[in-house]
Structure 1
Amino acid sequence: MTRRPHRRAVVLGLSIALALTGCGGGNSPATPAASGTGLEKTTIKVGALPIPDPASLYIANAKGFFKEEGLTVEPVTITGGAAALPQIESGALDISQTNYVSTFLAVGQGKKIKLVADMYQAAPNTFDIMVPKDSPIKTVADLRGKTVLVNNLRNIATLAVTSQLKAAGLTENDVKFAEKPFPEMGNAINSGQADAGWITEPFITANQNALGFRSIADTMTGATADLPIAGWMATEDWAKENPRTLAAFQRAIAKAQQLASSDRKEIEAILPTYTKIDAKTAAAIKLGAYPTTLDAARLQKVADLMLEYKYLTSPIDVKSVIASTTG
């Protein structure tokens, strides 16, 4: 460790607990004969993190897209996609945000989960490895023997960093990964607890502005370029028992995703309403993409990377994880 052990802590003023935890032929939402007709459930609880990824959920509510479908959606704040799994299994949540690595890990363990809609996809410089401005670390190769903070071990964070380590001729065993919530990473690194961190927005911008941090690598390049990050999940049983409700949700979300993908101002306007991201930060942060349909070929890339890096012990056919849309 080369950091000076004592520095004045800088409070970033962002207390979002992010766990990334940011989705086809038969995956485009069906067209209803009459919106809201015959829904199995007219009110559903949907888990979401207070981050940019699920912006379309709040856009759909604000614009009345769910109401047009005869559906009332009650957002419930969660701490992460993996943490939300027991909540959808128990019925406390009907649908929840999830990251794809968590989803495929659970499926590999025999969990009966279905992906019901896409949410968020990586874009350049939305998930970076960052170091303090005066750090001697200049490239990924310089991370050998260093401690790298991630929000979760053996998940999207470590998978993304490991892919960059491989490109630099290193392996995951050449660094030490340690867990730390995103809001705490900057001060932890600045005080010498670690050498670098895998950081996403709005914390990339926050650490640049408050601490002068710099990026040494965009982890969404090469094998992970445009990597699908997050989507919406339900249990297999729920999807089978509520096909019309699910289809109504999918139609409204797809409409909101289209709006989010075509007009950044819609995202900037909605972020301050459900996150602690203020309007100024919302206008400055880098955002990923908001796909309108689940694409099995695109998502297969995540499962294949997980198999390559031994996050999975056997292949997963992503098509089998995507819910059919028969409602």
Structure 2
Amino acid sequence: MNISLLHRLTPLAAVTLLVLSALPALAGTPLKVGYLPVTGHAKFFIAQDKGFFAAEGLDVELIQFHNSADGLSAIRAGQLDVGAFGTTAPLVHIAKGAEIQVIGGIMGQDAALITTAANADKVRKVTDLKGKKVATVRLASGDAVLRGALNQAGIDWKTEVEIFELKNPPAVIEAVKSGQVDAGLVWGPHDLRAEEQGLKVVIRSDELSPGHPCCRLTVSNASATDHPETWKHFLRAILKAEKFASENRPETVAIITKYLKLDAALIEKAYYSPHLDQSSDPNVKGVEEFWSTMQKSGFVESNKAIAPYINTEIYRLALFELTREEPKEAFWAKLWEIFNARDRS
């Protein structure tokens, strides 16, 4: 145990560290993990394919969902142990009293507003959406970012924009192509697939809210309290996958291709896009800002603080252990810098 690090932790963090460090991985612990069929969720695929989950004593079953709303409902119903279903969805459920918490992240940013080529010059900024019809996916992160941007621009998204919540990004693409809506919000790799079909990306979510979080790893409060060692090992596997993806580009693309069944060149462009944040930390500051935007725009009606619903200690311990095992590894040092900037008060 690194005593100097232990002294720097809060009392709660120190206790968590001591307890979890003494706990072994539970051999073959079954976990049902929910994911969306998007490039940003590649760390699930890598951790499964490369045996990182198994090495951490986890027997993971990956279960696909097509939108965040359905995925979060499955977590609340006990049908999933963990999932990465945007930032909007868990925060909306927390606002309604759900006993869930964020323990990490899978991706950030990556949403895009698309239009037909004919409409591209008419929609260059959010104020151009006034009086327009816009398709989104229900409870998608980009949806809340867009509504927040409309609110900041002085546009009432409830009355001055017609927003249609569809099932998934392909449905949004079809609505834009057919002219049922003027614009639509999707995420990678569907932005690239939209472009392949002649549509245009006109606004990206990182332009509206730079650095915003997207898919947060969400579990029930009871699971986080009763099985912290399981989630420590889960996050260790996710962090190993993040490191692998940063160092093994061709193999990472090949693994993602197995799961998404898309062209490898498109997958590489999507996953290594400058618009996609691949970090796995909980991102407390980003989630707090996201929550504030949702409150101000009227997306949620809640005055509660969101920080108590973000658990950083399990991620901290996972990263601490990996650093202890490879003390000279520059990748872990970089993740500490990110953690210190985004997750420490």
Q: TM-score range by the shorter chain?
A: 0.7 to 0.9
| Alpha-carbon separation, structure 1, partners of 2:140 and 2:54 | 35
Matched residue SS, 2:174 = helix
The corresponding residue for 2:84 is 97
Distance in 2 (alpha carbons) for counterparts of 1:190 and 1:65: 41
Q: Is residue 2:307 matched to residue 1:322?
A: no
Cα deviation for residue 194 of structure 1 reads 1.2
Higher helix share: 2
Q: How is 1:16-55 mapped onto 2 (pairs within 5 angstroms)?
A: 26=13, 37=24, 39=26, 42-55=29-42
Match of 2:193 in 1: 206
Match of 1:308 in 2: 296
State the match for 1:185 in structure 2.
172
- 1:239 paired with 2:227, answer no
Within the alignment, does 1:134 sit opposite 2:118 as a pair?
yes
Superposed CA offset, 1:132-154 (max 9, x none): 112261423332211111112x6
Distance in 1, Cα, partners of 2:151 & 2:177: 26
Q: In the alignment, does 2:240 pair up with 1:252?
A: no
- What's the CA shift string for 1:135-188, capped at 9, x where partnerless? 261423332211111112x65343222234345553313211112331133332
Once the two structures are TM-superposed, the CA of residue 38 in structure 1 deviates from its matched residue by 5.3
Counterpart of 1:171 in structure 2: which amino acid? D
Structure 1 residues 58 and 138: CA distance shift in structure 2, 3 A: closer
The one-letter code matched in structure 2 to 1:99 is: G
In the TM superposition, what is the alpha-carbon distance from 1:129 to its structure 2 partner?
1.8
**CA drift at 1:79:** 2.8
CA offset digits 1:11-61 (Å, max 9, x no partner): xxxxxxxxxxxxx9759x969758x82528612111111111221111112
Distance 1:319 1:261 in 2: 29
Aligned-partner Cα distance in 1 for 2:213–2:263: 26
Residue equivalent to 1:8: none
Q: Which runs of 5+ in 1 are unaligned?
A: 1-23
Q: Structure 1 residues 321 and 260 mapped into 2: Cα distance closer, same or farther (>3 Å)?
A: farther
Q: Which has the higher contact order (CA 8 A, sep 6+)?
A: 1
Cα distance in 2 for partners of 1:275, 1:234 equals 25
Q: After superposition, where does 1:148-297 map in structure 2 within 5 Å?
A: 148-152=134-138, 155-166=140-151, 168-172=153-157, 173-180=159-166, 181-211=168-198, 213-222=199-208, 224-261=209-246, 264-285=249-270, 286=273, 288-297=276-285
Counterpart of 1:165 in structure 2: which amino acid?
Answer: L
What is the CA–CA distance in structure 1 between the aligned matches of 2:101 and 2:27, rounded to whole Å?
Answer: 18
Aligned residues of 2:105 and 2:217 also touching (Cα < 8 A): yes
Distance 1:250 1:55 in 2: 14
Q: CA distance change for structure 1 residues 131 and 239 in 2, over 3 Å: closer, same or farther?
A: same
Which consecutive segments of 4 or more residues in structure 1 shift more than 6 A? none
CA gap of 1:53–1:315, structure 2 versus 1, over 3 A, is: farther
Q: Which runs of 5+ in 2 are unaligned?
A: 1-8, 319-345
**8 Å CA contact retained: 2:68, 2:140:** no
| Structure 2 counterparts to residues 58-137 of structure 1, below 5 A | 58-122=45-109, 126-135=110-119, 137=122
Within the candidate set 104, 126, 130, 1:144 is matched to: 130
Report the secondary structure of 2:303's partner residue.
coil
Indicate the larger mover: 253-262 or 169-178. Answer: 253-262
**Is the contact between residue 40 and residue 244 of structure 1 (CA under 8 Å) also seen in structure 2?**
no
CA distance in 2, matches of 1:168, 1:33: 49
1:9 — aligned with what?
Answer: none
Out of 129-138 and 107-116, give the one that drifted further.
129-138
Quick one: distance in 1 between partners of 2:309 and 2:203? 32
Amino acid at match of 1:311: F
Deviation of residue 220 (structure 1)? 2.1
**Residues 148 and 294, structure 2, Cα contact 8 Å, conserved in 1:** no
* RMSD across aligned positions (CA): 2.8
TM-score, normalization by structure 1: 0.80
SS where residue 289 of structure 2 aligns? Answer: helix
Q: Is the 8 A contact 2:36 2:85 kept in 1?
A: no
Q: Which is worse superposed, 79-88 or 109-118?
A: 79-88
CA deviation profile, 1:55-94 (whole Å, cap 9, x unmatched): 1111112222122212221111123333123433343221
Corresponding residue of 1:18: none
